[in-house]
C-alpha cells in the first residue's frame, strides 16, 4: 500500500465524514429553530387563554369606578383597602398561581393626560396602583383596543386582551408575560438530546469508516476505480452497523422451540427500527414474549429499542417468578431512572409501548400486561382484543412507580395470539389515502384464522404492501404471531 493512496483515501473519508457531520448539524439546527417556534407558539396560546379568561371575569365598569375614586398614585396601599380592587387582585392572583406564572399579571389603563400606561391592579401582594408601566408601551398602545401578542425588548413574551365597557370602549387591558428563556427550555433540552445522540452515532460511523480504511486501500493501482463506489460501501457499512444495533433482538427461529406455529413481520421505516419483538424461555413449557414500540423511528428509535431490549434481557430473567404487570412496573422504573426523566413535564420524553406475555403451555395459561399495546387472542374461532393500560414505559411522566394490570387467560390448543406495534394499522394508503385501521386487521385475522401461521404472515404482509401502494411508510412495523 503506497503512502499517497493512504493519504488520499483518508482525505476523502474525512471530507465525507465532515460533510455528513455538517449536514446532520444543519438538520439539528433547523429542527431546533422549528422547535423554538413551536414552544413560543404554545406559550403565546397559553397566555392568550389566561388573559382572555380574565378579560371575561373582570368587569370593565369596576376599572372605571376605581380610577374615578382614586385619581392619584399611591392612594391604594393594601389589597383589602377597596372591595373592587380586592376582587380584581384575587382574580389575578388565582390565575397566576393556577398557571404557575413567575411574572405578575397586570391590568393596565392609558392615562391620556400623562400619556402613559398605568397599572390598575396586579397579582402581587403589594398594590402598584397608577404606577407608570415600563414595558413595551408603543406596541401595547398600538393594539390597545384589539389585544394581541409581542416579544418585548427584555425578551419577554407578552399577551394582552382589552377590557371593554358597555359602550364598546376599551378602558384597560389585561397583560400576561413569561420569560422567553423559560418558554424555550424544552426546545433546548431536545437540542442537547439530539446533539448527544448525533455525537454517539457519528462516533460509531467514524469507527466503521476508519477501521476498514486499511482494507480498502490495499488494492493495487489498477483497483483505484473501485474507490468510485466508496459511497455505496459506506452505506453498506452503516446498514451493517444497523444490524449490529439490532443484534439484541432474537431471531424469528427461536419461537419454533416452543410453539407449533409462529411468524414475525419486521418492516423498519428506515434502515433501523424503533420496534422490536423479544423472547425469553424460562422452562420446558414456559416463556416470555413481547412486542414493543419505542419513541420515534430510524436511528433515535433504534437507540431506544436497544435500551428497552437490554432492560428486558436484564430484568426478566432475574425476576422470572413475577407476572408481566410487575415486570413492566420494574422496567418503567429503570427506564425513567436511566433516562433521568423524573420530574419532567408530563406527556413528553422518550419511552416505550409494549405488550408482554408469560405463556405456560403446561398449565395452558397466558398472563398478559400491556403499556398502550393490546393482545389479540383468537380463541374458539372468536377474536378478542385485550387492551393494555394507557400508561407507557417511561415517557417523562412524573410518577416513578407506575402500576399495570395483569390479565389471566386460560387458552385451549389451537388458539393464536398476536402482539404488534401500531405501525401496521396506522399506515396510510388505499384508494382514499386513509389509515389501514384495526377493523381491517380484525377482518384479516378472522378470515385467515385456520391457515398455517407462515401463510398468514404472507397474507398480512401482502395486504399491508397493497394498502400502502406508492405511499411512504409512516412508521416502523413489527408483528409477532404465535400458535399457542
* Residue 202 phi, psi (nearest 5): -70, -30
List the grid coordinates of 105. Answer: 399579571
* Chain centroid to CA 445: 31
- Domain co-membership, 287 together with 422: yes
- Domain co-membership, 142 together with 278: no
Of the candidates 167, 183, 199, which is a domain's last residue?
A: 183
Dihedral sign for Cα atoms in the order 385, 389, 395, 401? negative
pLDDT reported for residue 5: 56
CB-based contacts of 358: which residues, under 8 Å, 6+ apart?
286, 287, 288, 323, 324, 366, 367, 368
Q: Which of 418, 424, 297 is nearest to 350 (CA)?
A: 297
Q: Which of 102, 131, 105 is nearest to 51 (CA)?
A: 105
Of the candidates 129, 156, 183, which is a domain's last residue?
A: 183
- Domain co-membership, 69 together with 167: yes
Asked whether residue 359 is assigned to any structural domain, the reply reads yes
CB-based contacts of 57: which residues, under 8 Å, 6+ apart?
91
- Domain co-membership, 144 together with 262: no
Strands (E), 412-476: 416-420, 428-429, 434-435
- Domain co-membership, 97 together with 174: yes
Asked whether residue 26 is assigned to any structural domain, the reply reads no
Question: pLDDT in tens for each of the 484 residues of the chain?
Answer: 455 556 666 677 677 777 877 888 888 888 878 888 888 888 889 999 999 999 999 999 999 999 988 988 878 889 888 999 999 999 999 999 999 888 899 999 998 888 899 999 999 999 989 999 887 778 888 888 898 988 876 788 899 999 999 888 999 999 999 888 877 777 777 778 878 887 777 778 777 766 665 456 445 444 565 555 565 664 564 466 466 656 788 999 999 989 999 999 999 998 888 899 999 999 999 999 999 999 887 778 888 898 999 999 999 999 999 999 999 999 999 998 888 877 655 555 788 999 999 999 999 999 999 999 999 999 999 999 999 999 999 875 656 788 999 999 999 999 999 999 999 999 999 999 999 999 999 999 999 999 999 999 999 999 999 999 999 999 999 999 999 9
Q: Is 404 left (phi over 0), alpha (psi -120 to 50) or beta?
A: beta
Asked whether 423 and 375 are in contact (CB, 8 A), the reply is: no
For residue 285, give its domain range.
249-483
- Domain co-membership, 172 together with 274: no
Of the candidates 183, 210, 229, which is a domain's last residue?
A: 183
* Residue 232 phi, psi (nearest 5): -65, -40
Looking up cell 398480512 gives 460
Q: Which of 180, 57, 168 is nearest to 121 (CA)?
A: 57
In whole angstroms, give the CA distance from residue 476 to residue 297. Answer: 6
> What secondary structure does DSSP assign to 270-338, as a single string?
SSS-SEEEEEEE-SSSEEEEEEEEESSSHHHHHHHHHHHHHHHHHHHHHTTTS-HHHHHHHHHHHHHHH
In whole angstroms, give the CA distance from residue 333 to residue 342. Answer: 10
In whole angstroms, give the CA distance from residue 483 to residue 359. Answer: 11
In whole angstroms, give the CA distance from residue 260 to residue 68. Answer: 87
pLDDT reported for residue 224: 64
Q: Between the CA of residue 38 and those of 56, 186, 446, what are the distances in Å?
A: 27, 10, 44
Asked whether residue 435 is assigned to any structural domain, the reply reads yes
CATH number of the domain where residue 373 is located = 3.60.40.10
Total count of domains within the chain = 2
Asked whether residue 119 is assigned to any structural domain, the reply reads yes
In whole angstroms, give the CA distance from residue 355 to residue 371. Answer: 6
Q: Provide the β-strand partners of residue 116.
A: 111
In whole angstroms, give the CA distance from residue 382 to residue 368. Answer: 18
Pairing of strands 156-164, 286-294: unpaired
* Residue 231 phi, psi (nearest 5): -60, -35
- Domain co-membership, 253 together with 165: no
- Domain co-membership, 359 together with 265: yes
Asked whether residue 220 is assigned to any structural domain, the reply reads no
Amino acid at each position: 500500500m503506497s503512502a499517497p493512496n493512504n493519504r488520499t483515501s483518508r482525505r476523502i473519508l474525512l471530507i465525507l465524514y465532515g460533510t455528513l457531520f455538517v449536514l446532520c448539524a444543519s438538520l439539528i439546527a433547523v429542527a431546533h429553530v422549528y422547535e423554538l417556534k413551536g414552544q413560543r407558539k404554545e406559550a403565546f396560546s397559553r397566555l392568550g387563554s389566561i388573559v382572555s379568561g380574565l378579560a371575561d371575569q373582570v368587569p370593565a365598569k369596576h376599572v372605571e369606578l376605581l380610577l374615578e375614586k382614586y385619581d392619584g398614585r399611591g392612594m391604594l396601599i393594601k389589597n383589602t383597602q377597596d372591595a373592587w380592587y380586592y376582587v380584581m387582585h384575587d382574580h389575578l392572583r388565582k390565575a397566576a398561581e393556577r398557571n404557575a406564572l413567575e411574572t405578575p399579571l397586570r391590568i393596565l389603563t392609558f392615562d391620556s393626560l400623562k400619556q402613559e400606561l398605568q397599572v390598575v391592579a396586579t397579582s402581587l401582594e403589594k398594590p402598584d396602583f397608577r404606577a407608570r408601566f415600563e414595558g413595551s408601551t408603543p406596541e401595547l398602545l398600538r393594539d390597545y383596543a384589539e389585544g394581541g401578542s409581542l416579544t418585548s425588548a427584555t425578551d419577554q413574551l407578552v399577551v394582552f386582551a382589552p377590557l371593554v365597557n358597555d359602550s364598546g370602549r376599551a378602558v384597560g387591558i389585561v397583560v400576561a408575560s413569561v420569560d422567553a428563556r423559560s418558554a424555550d427550555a424544552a426546545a433546548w433540552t431536545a437540542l442537547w438530546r439530539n446533539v448527544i445522540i448525533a455525537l454517539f452515532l457519528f462516533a460509531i460511523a467514524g469507527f466503521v469508516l476508519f477501521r476498514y480504511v486499511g482494507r480498502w486501500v490495499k488494492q493495487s493501482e489498477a483497483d483505484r476505480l473501485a474507490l468510485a463506489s466508496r459511497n455505496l460501501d459506506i452505506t453498506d457499512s452503516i446498514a451493517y452497523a444497523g444490524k449490529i444495533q439490532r443484534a439484541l433482538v432474537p431471531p424469528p427461529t427461536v419461537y419454533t422451540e416452543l410453539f407449533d406455529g409462529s411468524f414475525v413481520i419486521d418492516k423498519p421505516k428506515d434502515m433501523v427500527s424503533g420496534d422490536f419483538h423479544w423472547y425469553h424461555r424460562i422452562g420446558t413449557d414456559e416463556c416470555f414474549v413481547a412486542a414493543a414500540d419505542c419513541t420515534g423511528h430510524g436511528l433515535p428509535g433504534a437507540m431506544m429499542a436497544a435500551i428497552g431490549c437490554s432492560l428486558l434481557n436484564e430484568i426478566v430473567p432475574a425476576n422470572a417468578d413475577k407476572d408481566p404487570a410487575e415486570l413492566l412496573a420494574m422496567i418503567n422504573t429503570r427506564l425513567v431512572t436511566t433516562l433521568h426523566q423524573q420530574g419532567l413535564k408530563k406527556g413528553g420524553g422518550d419511552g416505550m409501548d409494549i405488550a408482554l406475555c408469560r405463556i405456560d403451555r403446561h398449565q395452558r395459561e397466558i398472563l398478559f400486561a400491556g403499556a398502550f399495546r393490546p393482545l389479540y387472542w383468537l380463541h374458539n374461532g372468536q377474536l378478542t382484543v385485550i387492551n393494555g393500560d394507557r400508561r407507557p414505559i417511561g415517557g417523562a411522566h412524573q410518577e416513578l412507580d407506575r402500576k399495570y394490570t395483569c390479565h389471566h387467560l386460560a387458552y385451549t390448543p389451537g388458539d393464536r395470539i398476536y402482539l404488534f406495534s401500531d405501525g401496521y394499522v396506522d399506515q396510510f394508503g388505499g384508494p382514499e389515502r386513509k389509515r389501514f385501521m384495526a377493523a381491517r386487521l380484525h377482518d384479516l385475522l378472522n378470515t385467515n384464522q385456520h391457515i398455517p401461521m407462515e401463510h398468514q404472515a404472507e397474507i398480512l404482509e401482502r395486504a399491508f404492501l397493497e394498502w400502502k401502494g406508492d405511499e411512504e411508510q409512516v412508521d416502523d412495523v413489527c408483528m409477532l404471531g404465535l400458535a399457542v
